[in-house]
Chain A
């Protein structure tokens, strides 16, 4: 097990678009193992992207199994060269980032997405994601494009447009 140091904004590597992975080899496998360990050790982290440990390649982890409350998910996902191909709906949610300690803010994300990627052997994958898992994927893929959640913050006032009221009183 090898933990990598998480780099923090304002490190410029976090604002850099990453290169696609072109060889699915042992080196990639070793790096992803480190990335998984680093994600698992991050406080409350449900995902991580390679640039957060200074590797400017299109690789990320999306792990909605680590959500505080159970949510629909596809397990612990290793995504190589992920691409979002469809977006549907929108939702406001609270995000934080391992690379931006001590801050959380509200961000609008698509409620549902379709995503394609490759696994460690170069096999094509595709997923339909919703809610929390879709939010993680959008946050991590943003990292691969050099975009931070700080670039997408919305004001508190927008809370009224929240997705689905959990409990609504006097809805008659």
Chain B
């Protein structure tokens, strides 16, 4: 099997049933290989970030998706990738954050983490609670490039209204 040319395909559009299936069917028909992906509903839109292995350039890939794009009113973006599949990095630290939602909470937390050497591999955040009293919840995984102690110290200096928990991710392989 020859190695396909990998691209990162980003699609954003109104959340409607059938987007993923329609996109997958078109790519399958074009002989593309599908790789790692992250897809989720955000703010009423459906977002797709998908690795696609296919020959030809980004214009060719966009051309293939033209009818789906029209049907589902999607915005399409393609990035060329230098690497292929199997380039995942195993995170070794997990940080969970929550607090009353307020301006600056994400910047404050992520600044502190970046300065203490956390390279983020995955970040999920949600605004929960009631509409008048929203709370912000963030789930972060990453590689602690300088170990956990600098991260613990950095998080201990955050504003007192932000609750933070940090724990190692001990991988068990067997």
Residues of A within 8 A of B (CB): 42-49, 62, 67-69, 71, 93-98, 102-104, 132, 135-136, 139-140, 156-157, 159-160, 162, 164-170
The answer to whether A46 touches B173 (Cβ under 8 A) is: yes
Tell me if B172 and A132 are in contact (CB < 8 A): yes
| In contact, B173 and A95 (Cβ under 8 angstroms) | yes
Q: Quick check: B155 and A162 within 8 Å, CB to CB?
A: no
- Quick one: closest A residue to B159, CB to CB? A170
Among the stretches B26-34, B46-54, B71-79, B160-168, the one at the interface with A is B160-168
Does the CB pair B122–A156 fall under 8 Å? Answer: yes
Interface residues of B (CB under 8 A from A): 86, 88, 90, 94, 96, 122, 124, 137, 139, 141, 148, 152, 155-156, 158, 160, 162-174
Given the complex, which residues of B lie within 8 Å of A103, measured CB to CB? 88
Sorted from nearest, which 10 A-B pairs have the closest CB atoms? A47-B174, A96-B173, A166-B167, A165-B165, A169-B164, A94-B169, A94-B171, A44-B173, A102-B86, A139-B174
Cβ-defined contact, A167 with B172, below 8 A: no
| Cβ-defined contact, B90 with A159, below 8 A | no
A98 and B96 CA atoms in complex are apart in Å by 29
User: B172–A95 contact, CB under 8 A?
Assistant: yes
Please report the C-alpha to C-alpha distance between residue A96 and residue B88 in the assembled complex, in whole angstroms: 13
A102 to B86, CA, bound (A): 6
Complex Cα–Cα for A132 and B141 (A): 20
- A67–B173 Cα gap in the complex (Å)? 10
CA distance A97 to B172 in the complex (A): 8
**Residues A156 and B124 in contact, CB atoms below 8 Å apart:** yes
Contact B173 A159 (CB under 8 A): no
* Cα A170 to Cα B162 with chains together (Å): 8
